Amino acid sequence: GAGVSQSPSNKVTEKGKDVELRCDPISGHTALYWYRQSLGQGLEFLIYFQGNSAPDKSGLPSDRFSAERTGGSVSTLTIQRTQQEDSAVYLCASSLGQGRGNQPQHFGDGTRLSIL
Amino acid sequence: AQKITQTQPGMFVQEKEAVTLDCTYDTSDQSYGLFWYKQPSSGEMIFLIYQGSYDEQNATEGRYSLNFQKARKSANLVISASQLGDSAMYFCAMREGWGAQKLVFGQGTRLTINP
């Protein structure tokens, strides 16, 4: 079956512009996560959606970052007024969800964001 | 304080040798899970193995096994009979609490397998 799909795979934009990154999770996965990976670094949690519950936004670095998940499926991460420090690979993951703590998160190939 | 510590930034191993990648963790939760992921140079994150805090046996998946020492809060990944294709970054990650929760990742270990 299809894995986690992210688009675009690469995005280059000018400082100050807004960007939208899309994630389509594995069918049937109720949990969806966004992470950020800066050059040579580990992954940093951004936000987590579980079913219809309020998202865990505790990892969002500033109010320029927001995310939504429509219909319990596709998610969009939006970064407003981009800064150069936002340059990173943005990874989306999905998993089976609540009560399935032993199930791994499956990752997409990421969106490489470069801010000029 | 770091939740996940991987003390080996880089490791070099001869093909066919076994290799141990270290991971120590810090949590006050009784219920938690530990995951290892592989990230080749192509960038995708590949799930390797999982160990739950209540699991009595060390997890194994093919050539991968997890040396879980709960009292020491360590969860080292052991790769037996290493192959050239094992060259990659390896990340240890922890989920605190039960259920689907965010993962906290270590900084990773870059493993290079030499022929």
| Tokens of residue A50, six digits | 């579980």
The answer to whether the beta carbons of residues A3 and A28 sit under 8 Å apart is no
Quickly state the pLDDT bin for A103 (edges 50, 70, 90).
confident
How many angstroms away from the CA of B35 is the closest CA of chain A?
8
Residue A29 and residue B89: Cα distance in Å, rounded? Answer: 26
Largest CA distance in chain B: 42
Give tens-digit pLDDT for B83-114. 999 999 999 999 987 766 889 999 999 999 99
What's the pLDDT score for residue B2? Answer: 74
Contact: A105, B47; criterion CB under 8 Å: yes
Contacts of B22 (CB under 8 A, 6+ apart): B6, B7, B8, B74, B76, B109
Q: What is the pLDDT at residue B1?
A: 63
Average model confidence (pLDDT) for chain B?
Answer: 94
Per-residue confidence (pLDDT) for residue A1, from 0 to 100: 54
Contacts of B57 (CB under 8 A, 6+ apart): none
Q: Is the pLDDT of residue A99 over 70?
A: no
HSE-up of residue A1 (Cα within 13 Å, Cβ side): 7
Residue B75's pLDDT band (boundaries 50, 70, 90)? very high
pLDDT at B100: 62
Q: Cβ separation of A101 and B100 shorter than 8 Å?
A: yes
CB contact under 8 A, B100 and A93: no
Among B5, B94, B101, B107, the strongest candidate for a mutation testing the A interface, having the largest count of A CBs within 10 A, is B101
Partners of residue A47 on adjacent β-strands? A34
Using the beta-carbon criterion (under 8 Å), do B102 and A109 form an inter-chain contact?
no
> Do B45 and A107 make contact, defined as CB atoms within 8 angstroms?
yes
What confidence score (pLDDT) does residue B62 get?
96
Give the CA distances from residue B83 to residues A15, A35, B19, in Å, rounded to whole numbers and listed in that order. 43, 29, 11
Residues B24-41, mean pLDDT to the nearest whole number: 94
Dig out the tokens for B90 from the structure.
Answer: 């390896």
Cα–Cα distance, B114 to B13 (Å, whole number): 6
For residue B9, pLDDT over 60 is answered with: yes
Closest chain A C-alpha to B51 CA, distance in angstroms: 8
- CB neighbour burial string for B85-106, b if at least 16 within 10 angstroms, e if fewer: ebbbbbbbbbbbebebbbbbbb
Rounded distance, CA A16 to CA A82, Å? Answer: 5
Q: What is the largest CA-CA distance in chain A?
A: 42
Give the residue carrying structure tokens 């319990």.
Answer: A72
Show the CA angle centred on residue A101, arms to residues A99 and A105, nearest 5°. Answer: 120
